[in-house]
Amino acid sequence: MNETKSYDISKHRVLEAFRRVKANKGAAGVDNESLEEFEQNLKNNLYKEASC
């Protein structure tokens, strides 16, 4: 755990969670961004490295 992230979650788990949402045709969140829009910048949207 560090100052920028409350929980240590692996990239693999984050990607698997996204795949499940996509397979389930998840709805847009409060920002109304669609899965297609989110996926255009998937690397930065899913997991940002902490710069320590």
Q: Where are the domains of the chain?
A: 11-46
In tens, the pLDDT along 1-52 reads 556 667 888 889 989 998 999 999 888 788 888 899 999 998 888 877 655 4
Between CA 25 and CA 7 the distance in angstroms is 26
Residue 9: the pLDDT is: 86
Residues contacting residue 2 through CB under 8 Å, at least 6 positions apart: 50, 52
Q: pTM of this prediction?
A: 0.66
